[in-house]
Amino acid sequence: MITFEDVSKLYPRQTTPALRHVSVDIDKGEFVFLVGVSGSGKSTFLRLILREYRPTTGRVFVAGKDLGRLHNWKVPALRRQIGTVFQDFRLLPGQTVYQNVAFALQVLGRPMREIRQQVPATLELVGLANKGERRPEELSGGEQQRVAIARAVVNNPKILIADEPTGNLDPATSVGIMKLLDRINRRDTTVIMATHDSTIVDQMRRRVIELDKGELVRDQKQGAYGNL
C-alpha cells in the first residue's frame, strides 16, 4: 500500500535532512505506530504520503502510484484515498456533528442519497449515533475526536493517517479512541499513527517504526514504544 524507497528529504534552506535514506513497506490492512522524539521526522514521513512534499531523493509509492511523478491535478484523487486525523480535531465550529461528517462527502460531490445513508452509518460506527445534532463545542474531547475520525473515514479511504490523535485526551478516553481505530483497521483500512503515547503503543503490540534524526532505526512486528 505504501513504499518508501531510499527516501531522503531536505527542506529548503536547511542543512540537515528531515529524513535520511528511509526504506519501508507498509501492506494493505496493517496498523503501524510511528514513534520518535520531536523533530525525528514523523510529520515529514506522513506529509510525503499525502504528497504535501516530494522527496529530495528516493521514491514514495502509495497504492501503486509513484508520488514523485504524480501530476499536481491528480493529487486530490490521491488524498481522497487517505483519511487524516490530528491532535487538535479540526472540526467546523457552529456546524452540527452530522454536517461536519456530511461535508467530507459534499466536497467530493457525492449524491445526497449516499450522504443520507453513509453519515448515520459512520456516526454509528464511531459511537455517536445519537449526537448528530450536537455541535463540536458541546462535546467532550473524546467525542470531538470521534467526529474527526468519522469525517476521515466516511468515504471509506484505503489509508487512515492519525497524527497524535490521543495527544489532547486523558488515558481512559484515549483507550476508547484506540479501540475505534482498531475497529476501523479491522475493516481493512491501513492505519498509520504517529504518537508519543507509550502506554498505548505498549498495550496494542502492533508494528512499530521508529525514527531518530530522520533515520529509520527500528521496525518491529509487534513492538513496544521503547526498545525492549
- By CB under 6 A, tell whether 130 contacts ligand ADP: no
CB of 156 to ligand ADP, least distance (A): 26
Compose the 153-182 pattern: x for residues touching ligand ADP by CB under 6 A, - for all others.
--------------------x---------
Dihedral pair phi/psi, residue 13, rounded to 5°: 65, 10
The residue within the footprint of ligand ADP, chosen from 14, 72, 130, 222 (CB under 6 A), is: 14
Task: Provide the residue type at 2 as one letter.
Answer: I
139 is a contact residue toward ligand ADP (CB under 6 A):
yes
Question: Which of left, alpha, beta for 55 (phi over 0: left; psi -120 to 50: alpha)?
Answer: beta
- Residue 9 beta carbon to ligand ADP: minimum distance, rounded to whole angstroms: 8
Sign of CA dihedral 62, 67, 70, 72: positive
Q: How far apart are CA 139 and CA 100, in angstroms?
A: 13
- Which residue, 115 or 123, is less far from ligand ADP as judged by CB? 123
Q: Is position 88 an interface residue for ligand ADP (rule: CB under 6 A)?
A: no
Among 78, 98, 145, 147, residue whose Cα is nearest residue 106: 98
DSSP labels, 178-226:
HHHHHHHHHTT-EEEEE---HHHHHHH--EEEEEETTEEEEEETT--SS
Handedness of CA 197, 22, 80, 1 (dihedral sign): negative
Site size for ligand ADP (CB under 6 A): 18
The correct pick among 6, 11, 23, 69 for binding ligand ADP (CB under 6 A) is: 11
Distance in angstroms (rounded) separating the CA atoms of residues 174 and 172: 5
| Minimum CB distance to ligand ADP, residue 1 (Å) | 21
Of 105 and 200, the one with the shorter C-beta distance to ligand ADP is 200
Q: Is 39 in the site for ligand ADP (CB under 6 A)?
A: yes
User: Which of 142, 157, 165, 223 is close enough to bind ligand ADP by CB under 6 A?
Assistant: 142
Q: How many CB atoms lie within 10 A of CB 41?
A: 23
Q: Does 43 engage in binding with ligand ADP (CB under 6 A)?
A: yes
Q: Which residues bind ligand ADP (CB under 6 A)?
A: 11, 14, 18, 36, 38-44, 138-143, 173
